[in-house]
Amino acid sequence: MNSFWSLVGYEYKKILHKKSVRVVLLLAVIVSAFSVGGTLFGNSYVDGEVFESNYDAMVKDRAYARALAGRKLDGKLIMEAVSAYVEIPQTDKYSDTVEYQTIARPYSEIYLISRTIFDTASRRFNMGDFQALTDEQVKQFYVTRRDKQVQLVEGTGMSNKAKEQMLALDAQIETPFTFSYTGGYTRFFVIMYTCGLAAAFVMAICVAPLFSGEYTLGADQLILASKHGKNRLIAAKLFTGFSLAAAICLALTAAGYAFSMCIFGFDGGEAPLQLLYALVALPTDHGASGAASRSLHLFRLPDDIGNYHAAFRKAKIAFRCNYTCWPIVDCSNVCLYLRSKYRTAQSVPYPPNKYDGILGRDRWYPIRAFRTGGQAILVSASVCGWGKCITCAICIPCFQKSSDCLNQVPIAVILFKQFMPFGIVFCNY
């Protein structure tokens, strides 16, 4: 076993010694820094003149949010925000007014959170509605939230038991929320949407030549004629591929986290996740969900996984053809398979409009929205000529609508189970 680890060590050495690998790694870090800080470039304009730079705006809003940090998000705080917003005169673009900038802006975060709660299906909650909020309505903030949650959960296609579990989880959320500045975490969650792509790019460069590189280099004969060259080395190479893929994902995530925190601020780790996504049913905070979003999970299966799984098995053959041909597969394909198969597998027909989507952070997303949100990236390295033909696929479906909702967990589980023989799946949920 000792020699196994030495072999893994040498594989790492071979990879990391390459110039192209180092350049790509550096590039990925730079890209990640840029994607974190990119929004801070540029200015906002009032009447065609520069009003403030985006960076100044961030600093200002951060100071305002920090001033409110630690306070309970209760009726009192919301009413304070309402009375500040009342000062804003009726105009087309309220954010350009002096009143907004001087009186209301310190409470803008409170307004944004309230909006997701008081939004209704028939009417989009706007500034005017906020100004008109009464004491009574504001006191009902958490009741309204719960009602909305119940409605949302009931509207899904989950089994009754799963619905119950979800609502029970929701009930565990501590209210009222404690307000905090969460800019760093918000940014971190956003860039995690695209982190998978960057990781796939890096992996394609680093992991792909793992086996084929020996042939290109001409070292294959030496390897094949050596004692461990036909068995242990292959295991070592596979381990290297998987662990390196994991390391790249983690490293890029860590870089994204570090940049987000350094640029936007470290606050908010303990703030409830609901400040960001008001209708998430998980009793968790920003820090924990950030950590969870990139770790490897073994899921406890909710009941209706069984159905998903059986349905998926049928679709699997078609899917398998798909992924051996295409190195990169958008996981929306998987979801479409799943969705269509799952629907026929159910004896009770579900209302189609409710079915074709994913329960998102605050509403039921149509499948199209999900399509852009998650990517399944399969880096498949074909290993031909080593006596057998092994195709190892390293799959990283990045469920970037992360920390949204339990409903995505099942899909992640299916992918996890399906791909396990071939690789490791990293899931964000």
Footprint of other proteins (CB under 8 A): 2-3, 6-7, 10, 13-14, 17-18, 216-231, 233
Q: How far apart are the first and last CA of the chain?
A: 35
CB half-sphere exposure, 425, CA atoms < 13 A: 25
Smallest distance from the beta carbon of 232 to other proteins, in angstroms? 8
Q: Which is nearer to other proteins, 4 or 94 (CB)?
A: 4
Query: Nearer to other proteins by C-beta: 20 or 91?
Result: 20
DSSP code of 355?
Answer: H
Q: E strands, 65-114, where?
A: none
Q: To the nearest whole angstrom, how small is the minimum distance from the Cβ of residue 30 to other proteins?
A: 23
**Alpha-carbon distance 165 to 162, whole Å?**
5
Phi, psi of 79 (to 5 degrees): -65, -35
In terms of CB distance, is 121 or 225 closer to other proteins? 225
The DSSP call for residue 302 is P
Q: Quick one: 171 or 219, whose CB is closer to other proteins?
A: 219
Cβ nearer to other proteins, comparing 233 with 245: 233
* Longest CA pairwise span in the chain (Å): 83
Backbone CA torsion sign across 251, 256, 257, 258:
positive
Structure tokens at 85: 């917003």
11 vs 267, beta carbon nearer other proteins = 11
Rounded least distance, CB 235 to other proteins, Å: 13
Instruction: Choose among 397, 365, 43, 36: nearest CA to 185.
Output: 36
Cβ at position 389, least distance to other proteins in Å: 15
Cα(60)–Cα(346) distance, rounded to whole angstroms? 52
Residues 6 or more apart whose CB falls under 8 angstroms from that of 322 comprise 329, 333
The answer to whether 200 touches 379, Cβ cutoff 8 Å, is yes
Nearer to other proteins, 13 or 93 (CB): 13
- Give the pair of three-digit tokens for residue 366: 């149509």
In angstroms, what is the minimal distance from the CB of 205 to other proteins? 16
Token duo for residue 330: 């958008």
Least distance in angstroms from the C-beta of 423 to other proteins: 25
User: CA 108 → CA 124, 272, 376, distances in Å?
Assistant: 17, 18, 36
Distance between CA atoms of 232 and 209, rounded to whole angstroms?
18
Q: Which is nearer to other proteins, 143 or 217 (CB)?
A: 217
Q: How many CA atoms lie within 13 A of 298 on its CB side?
A: 1
Please say which residue, 15 or 409, places its beta carbon nearer to other proteins: 15
Q: Least distance from C-beta 11 to other proteins, angstroms?
A: 10
Nearest to 387 by CA among 278, 229, 191: 229
Residue 243: CB minimum distance to other proteins, A: 18
In whole angstroms, how close is the CB of 206 to other proteins at the nearest point?
A: 15
Contact 385, 392 (CB under 8 A): no
